[in-house]
Amino acid sequence: MSVLVTGGAGFIGSHTCVELLNSGEEIVVLDNFCNSKPEVLDKIRQLTGKDFKFYEVDLLDPDGVEKVFAENDIEIVIHFAGLKAVGESVQKPLKYYHNNITGTLILCEAMKRHNVKKIVFSSSATVYGNPHTVPIKEDFPLSTTNPYGSTKLMLERILTDLNVADPEWNVTLLRYFNPIGAHKSGLIGENPNGIPNNLMPYICQVANGTLPRLNVFGDDYPTPDGTGVRDYIHVVDLAVGHVKAVERARELDGVNIYNLGTGTGYSVLDIVKAFEKANNLKIPYVIAPRRAGDIPACYADPTKAKEVLGWEAQYGIEEMCRDSWNYMLKQKEN
């Protein structure tokens, strides 16, 4: 039986495919390449020495999704496929709701038809909104401030309702904090199209001269140095968390929710300094106005994932910064 990885050519998806294959899982990958590239698939094969079936399918294509389930013996689905740019979601809410919600409904309908009722869902710490305190536990209040975050919260509720209606539905909700870094080989990593929204890819483009300087969005937050604090987690740690979640889903029923973070918060300026130290280079920056929708601080209490999944982050901020930059350097070489 196989693990179906939707969005498996993406940043987190590709790293998860590597860890799944390395742990002995059989996988089937589905992607529409709207925010990823076909060459990633061979990089996954190169890194693991293993092959897998791939389907270029858009989740909005019911016939394409049906074909994947009809042709493969799927045991569990890890569902990454979805649009994830916060700013774009504010500009294009219909695109985000249609793609992320309708796509997931089509996926779940195909799962139901084929009696596949185990799903690990790529959720996000964004469902916590602006937390009343930190670190954040899984039972904290949920609220969202942008359409992207609302699709994640709605999908958590939809999947939970599936379990209420039919307890055979086994749902794992993984709430990611801030994934950064790359596989140590530099063969796969984060390569967003256009000018990056997120901090680390933006810093990398300043480091390689593509962008002139970093704009630090506000230094007047109630944080140690006034800049935003986040829980940055190495993407390989995040990928391993999915392997553990798949293994646990074979033993646990119901709806299980886990924060996948390190439990340590770093400010924007902490990240700039760590990147400069890890890679021995300077990152010019200016203090700019706050970005709409940003919150002061967000970092996880990862105790539950440690106790129930037997998982905790292994990599520190230096490796995250070094691996992010190493990936960018390898991209330049190729």
Select the residue interacting with ligand WQD from 22, 48, 143, 197 (CB under 6 A): 197
Name which of 68 and 218 has its Cβ closer to ligand WQD. Answer: 218
Tell me the number of residues near ligand WQD by CB under 6 A: 19
- List alpha helices for the chain, DSSP H: 11-22, 39-48, 62-71, 86-91, 93-96, 103-113, 147-165, 199-207, 235-249, 268-279, 303-304, 317-333
Which among 29-37, 49-57, 196-204, 257-265 is the span making contact with ligand WQD, rule CB under 6 A? 196-204
Select the residue interacting with ligand WQD from 58, 66, 294, 319 (CB under 6 A): 294
Name which of 73 and 220 has its Cβ closer to ligand WQD. Answer: 220
Is the Cα torsion angle 140, 144, 145, 148 positive or negative in sign? positive
Which among 30-38, 214-222, 244-252, 299-307 is the span making contact with ligand WQD, rule CB under 6 A? 214-222
- CA triplet 239, 108, 54: central angle to 5 degrees? 55
Please give the residues from 162 up to 181 whose contact with ligand WQD meets the rule CB under 6 A.
Answer: 176, 178
User: Helix, strand or coil for residue 294?
Assistant: coil
Per-residue exposure over 122-147, b if at least 16 CB sit within 10 Å of its own CB, e if not: bbbbbbbbebeebbbebebeeebbbb
- The CB-of-228 to ligand WQD minimum distance in angstroms stands at 2
Strand partners, 288: 217
Strand partners, 172: 120, 256
DSSP letter at 99? I
Please give the residues from 247 up to 286 whose contact with ligand WQD meets the rule CB under 6 A.
Answer: 268
Please give the residues from 88 up to 147 whose contact with ligand WQD meets the rule CB under 6 A.
Answer: 124, 126
Which among 184-192, 215-223, 250-258, 312-320 is the span making contact with ligand WQD, rule CB under 6 A? 215-223
Name which of 24 and 289 has its Cβ closer to ligand WQD. Answer: 289
Name which of 24 and 209 has its Cβ closer to ligand WQD. Answer: 209
- The CB-of-72 to ligand WQD minimum distance in angstroms stands at 27
- What is the chain's percent helix, strand, coil content, to nearest 5? 45, 20, 40
> Would residue 148 show up in a list of annotated catalytic residues for this protein?
yes
The token pair at 200 is 């680390």
Q: Give CA–CA dist 276/212, Å, rounded.
A: 15
Which residues would be at the binding site for ligand WQD (CB under 6 A)?
A: 84, 86, 124, 126, 176, 178, 197-199, 202, 214-217, 228, 230, 268, 291, 294
By annotation, the residues acting in catalysis are 148
